[in-house]
Amino acid sequence: MIAIEELSKSWAAGPVLRDVSLVVKEGDVTALVGPSGGGKSTLLRCLNGLELFDAGTISIAGHRLAEGGHPPALLERLRRDVGLVFQQFNLFPNMSVLENVALAPRSVARLPAEEARSRALALLERVGLGSFAAARPVTLSGGQQQRVAIARALAMQPRVMLFDEPTSALDPAMSAEVLDVIGDLARGGQTMLIVTHDHGFARRAANRVVELVAGRVVRQGSAADLLE
Ligand SMILES: Nc1ncnc2c1ncn2[C@@H]1O[C@H](COP(=O)(O)OP(=O)(O)OP(=O)(O)O)[C@@H](O)[C@H]1O
Ligand SMILES: [Mg+2]
């Protein structure tokens, strides 16, 4: 589902990704771990076409990315098939929770309003927030907002979900709610690549672990082996 081959990228200050190769198979849940500044977020952003790279190739959800720019039509298809959830939830504050989740199915996938609504409601139920459909995001806790952000990313029925430290802005109780939702997705067979500093969670939810240090993959293997 994801195959990265010898991906390299430098900022003006120097290399940030050095010959990174990794594979995430369909149904795999891979935790991407490693010290701050190691390039985890940069790698995730390259996978979604938000960031360009200098060398190597990415194949993700049936799309192929190479160095240089990506055509707009490719980016559009890529972002339908690859869901991304950040540390900051970035919900649209002027829309209800339901409208946040139904927006992309309506405007990008061009579903009829009623269908987009019912898909959004089903997803809100799935993340435990069915009763908050009409609420504004600002009235929700951080953990609830992050669960809405996950529902919003799932609304395009992506083949792969990418998470960048989805709980690092949350207190432990709220983190647990969000991690439960991600754990459910894992059990449901959703292919995911999750940047996390939470090794306990990685051990529970992930079957594979990749460790990135100073832009290089230093270890990868089964979660059971690497996180012991
Ligand atoms: N837009 C940018 N321009 C220049 N340098 C950047 C940019 N974004 C990130 N960097 C640098 O690239 C390196 C890797 O950053 P990145 O955010 O990918 O690391 P990370 O592994 O996600 O770290 P953390 O665990 O703290 O989130 C850092 O040295 C960072 O300062
Ligand atoms: Mg980061």
Residue nearest to atom 9 of ligand 1 (CA): 42
Å from CA of 212 to ligand 1 middle: 12
Pairing, β 208-213 against β 216-222:
antiparallel
* Residue from 152, 141, 142, 174 nearest 97 by CA: 152
The whole-number average pLDDT for the span 197-208 is 90
Q: Residue 200 is part of a domain; what is its CATH number?
A: 3.40.50.300
Number of domains the chain contains:
1
* pLDDT bucket at 108, cuts 50 / 70 / 90: confident
Q: Is 146 in the pocket of ligand 1 (CB under 6 A)?
A: no
Please tell me the predicted confidence (pLDDT) of residue 73.
Answer: 94
Residue nearest to atom 18 of ligand 1 (CA): 39
b/e 47-63 (16+ beta carbons within 10 angstroms → b): bbbeeebeebebebbeb
- For 139, the domain range is 2-226
* pLDDT tens digits for range 112-141: 999 999 999 999 999 999 999 999 999 999
- Ligand 1 pocket: which of 9, 17, 42 to mutate (most atoms <8 Å of CB)? 42
* pLDDT bucket at 88, cuts 50 / 70 / 90: confident
Q: Which ligand is nearest to the CA of 38?
A: 1
What's the pTM?
Answer: 0.94
* pLDDT tens digits for range 164-198: 999 988 999 999 999 999 999 999 999 999 999 99
* pLDDT bucket at 149, cuts 50 / 70 / 90: very high
* pLDDT tens digits for range 13-39: 999 999 999 999 999 999 999 999 999
* Residue from 169, 191, 162, 216 nearest 46 by CA: 162
Length of the chain: 228
